Structure 1
């Protein structure tokens, strides 16, 4: 098997510290690369710093054309890339295919946003002293970006770092997750086909301790991190003068209102079961907590358990598989210990609750005490907790009784309740009529509390990577 190169300022390179990437499902070799050498890491950062002016001045049509090219090439190589995502992450092939489709859209949105990234005019003669004056308000890159991506979406969450940076003209040094670097390196291969300026991008597989050094490097004034809560806040604390955006964890909640009829409950149960377990629950907005009104809770629970029982588990390379392994056996053992803790505290296992190697069976729990980890922390595994409430007020209070606040879903047909949910729920996004796992890649996406700060979504991320600059024109006819 050949060694996949990493990318230094658009140039392919290899080191001597070999990194073998293996499937979490069966240990099969997915690919081989090397960690970047210290000299190459320095070269990448220096190139990004040196390219900040030329990248910012790159015409919009060049940036947009590059992003269009990446989108098109991802679509052309979609089956190859989906198979690679599955091989290195253990994600079932059906979800890997969807991830590639989303990345195609993310880069397409980046190209479109690059073309319309124009600033705004503000007339100032609303005050007599400013007669004859107008302000041109534009946004300029804050500087080179350090993008740190997680393992669970090794292509599309990389895309959410790279596409906005290219769109605004900011150089980016990307660190993929050590467990899943291959998809990002393949993206580097496609980026190398574009006419972007040298130094505008690098893809560096490096150990996490090297990433800590990059976080502190003053030549990378922006850090965009997606990953765990402790690491995210430690990054912010270690770089207080930098602009840091954090997309961290959650324990996403669903509220099921009493206005749901049988057909609506079927839909809710299908969505809850699917998106509590998809990707083995390894998503920041995987359904973890469900608060169902007493009038519908029993019927909903029966449907959820039945639907979970129909999910196909096993080999992620099989197109029929719904739920594959976790990223490694250590992660599966952690989920197992959390479920065991809940059961010891009085929880009831409605289905699942068993582990085999790195795989954990899709699990539905009831009667879970509020203080145990599967209820109040982020499980990041295929586990959902069903709770019965006596009112929507109680459900909203339970949703908010969390240190996380990423997204929430509310199944209701009541328009007034929908707007009330948007006002009262302490989360970054409320999804009405669906689970919190829904995300459109062009919309602002991010959380409150321990779920992070800043927003992803191409346009929102472009704003995060830039700052306003004002040009005032004097003595003109407004």
Structure 2
């Protein structure tokens, strides 16, 4: 498979082969992906069976040492070339995202641009991998000795990727794993087989050896079998909290990096710039139809600004263009499937039945959920307490800053939060007191730079999903002690 497969995105059905033991293959039972906007089959992939899992894990174990032997410079050069190739193929990759997921072209192009950045960051991190000269001679028992460390690759990594950002999160997991010197087995999301295959093919075209990567398609049974495989040393998973728990159970005593769910809150304080806050929340609350773990789901607005904010927010949301994801002017495309869109509709209706106002939306056309605004829902409503992962934003008033921080912390998730204020005291206290992995000041919760640590607390997972921090999880510290040989002297 090569760039020709990516360019086949204009065909009726895009082939998404697996890559097992160095060979691209389409053999086995086929699974069709029906595009949520086009309502027809857009891609087709072979489902992995137990023999494919065994072949992939055995091949990975047999070739781990070969991949580890590649110098960091070689790994970095491949990743840098991949960044360049990604930019060249931006439009073709964005089209695949639109076909398979209903993601608007403008969002898809943004994701692909981040893929290029991520590969470039992974290349830089490959060049930084080193170790330490430990201060062993600082204690009498260590005098006369030298101790050194370096970071050794774990060997075989498993990357389980989600549907909502399948290209960039694959770049994070696979790019960082290869930068660390591992061979990686990728389990693609069933909703995005073609874009996953295209990113893997792109890396191979850039020079990544087939000993360093394999790609399997399938559902939860394939993921569970791979997690349980004794050859796998580290697992990076992005997805729901419930599936993350299943991954942990299947994995047993393995290293895990879990980036799970979110129910992100953004606080708009009484000194905020209301027009800017409303514009940012409107733009980032419905990006990718809200299918992001840090998408703006709850906006808490100081009561003195509540009416002004709601009016400005509604005006901004009404300006969003909803429709064909292949239209470059579309802002909001379809959700991943009809069930996801129905969740938005039903949760909005339930909130309304309990006294909230559905100011906008609350309806769907197939898998396309209209951008929905729910105003002043009950604090116990599903749209407040649970992750909707969809095109809905709840707006609630608050009176006291400490109380709104407590409200943000009340749920089971803690991934990221936003805060609009000019008060440095509030900024510091929010950074200290909000139970989240990251705080965005004068921005919404939905902001991410791919070279910064990203991850959460509580049911939002553990570990940090960014190349530098992922490399720590993909490697282990190896120590060497030189007895009777000291760079510090003998005295």
Give the whole-Å Cα distance in 2 for the aligned partners of 1:38 and 1:44. Answer: 10
Q: Which of residues 403, 410, 413 is equivalent to 1:401?
A: 410
Structure 2 partner of 1:35: 47
> 1:241 and 1:2, CA in 2 relative to 1: closer, same or farther beyond 3 A?
closer
Equivalent residues, number = 475
Q: Which of residues 416, 438, 454 is equivalent to 1:445?
A: 454
Structure 1 partner of 2:480: 471
Give the whole-Å Cα distance in 1 for the aligned partners of 2:479 and 2:62. Answer: 25
Contact 1:325 1:358 (8 Å CA) reproduced: yes
Structure 1 partner of 2:95: 83
Cα distance, 1:41 vs. partner? 3.0
Give the whole-Å Cα distance in 2 for the aligned partners of 1:415 and 1:465. Answer: 37
> 1:237 and 1:16, CA in 2 relative to 1: closer, same or farther beyond 3 A?
closer
2:141 paired with 1:132: no
Q: Which of residues 188, 193, 201 is equivalent to 2:200?
A: 188
Structure 1 stretches of 5 or more lacking a match? none
Task: Decide which moves more: 447-456 or 22-31.
Answer: 22-31
1:343-372 C-alpha deviation (Å, 9 max, x unpaired):
111111111111221111111111211222
Cα distance, 1:19 vs. partner? 2.4
Give the whole-Å Cα distance in 2 for the aligned partners of 1:127 and 1:452. Answer: 39
Give the whole-Å Cα distance in 2 for the aligned partners of 1:208 and 1:248. Answer: 16
2:399 paired with 1:371: no
2:345 paired with 1:336: yes
Structure 2 partner of 1:52: 64
Structure 1 partner of 2:279: 270
Cα distance, 1:194 vs. partner? 4.4
> 1:396 and 1:2, CA in 2 relative to 1: closer, same or farther beyond 3 A?
closer
Give the whole-Å Cα distance in 2 for the aligned partners of 1:26 and 1:84. Answer: 12
Q: Which of residues 95, 108, 111 is equivalent to 2:120?
A: 108
Cα distance, 1:242 vs. partner? 1.1
Structure 2 partner of 1:122: 134
Cα distance, 1:453 vs. partner? 1.1
Task: Decide which moves more: 350-359 or 309-318.
Answer: 350-359
Structure 1 partner of 2:436: 427
CA RMSD, 1 decimal: 1.5
Task: Decide which moves more: 123-132 or 66-75.
Answer: 123-132
Cα distance, 1:127 vs. partner? 2.1
2:160 paired with 1:151: no
Give the whole-Å Cα distance in 1 for the aligned partners of 2:73 and 2:144. Answer: 33
Contact 1:10 1:200 (8 Å CA) reproduced: no
Contact 1:8 1:204 (8 Å CA) reproduced: yes
Give the whole-Å Cα distance in 2 for the aligned partners of 1:104 and 1:196. Answer: 15
2:330 paired with 1:318: no
Cα distance, 1:238 vs. partner? 2.7
Give the whole-Å Cα distance in 1 for the aligned partners of 2:37 and 2:412. Answer: 32
Cα distance, 1:198 vs. partner? 4.2
Q: Which SS does the other structure have where 1:379 is aligned?
A: coil
Contact 1:14 1:36 (8 Å CA) reproduced: no
Give the whole-Å Cα distance in 2 for the aligned partners of 1:128 and 1:48. Answer: 44
For residues 350-369 of structure 1, the aligned pairs below 5 Å read: 350-369=359-378
Give the whole-Å Cα distance in 1 for the aligned partners of 2:198 and 2:69. Answer: 27
Structure 1 partner of 2:263: 251
Contact 1:62 1:195 (8 Å CA) reproduced: no
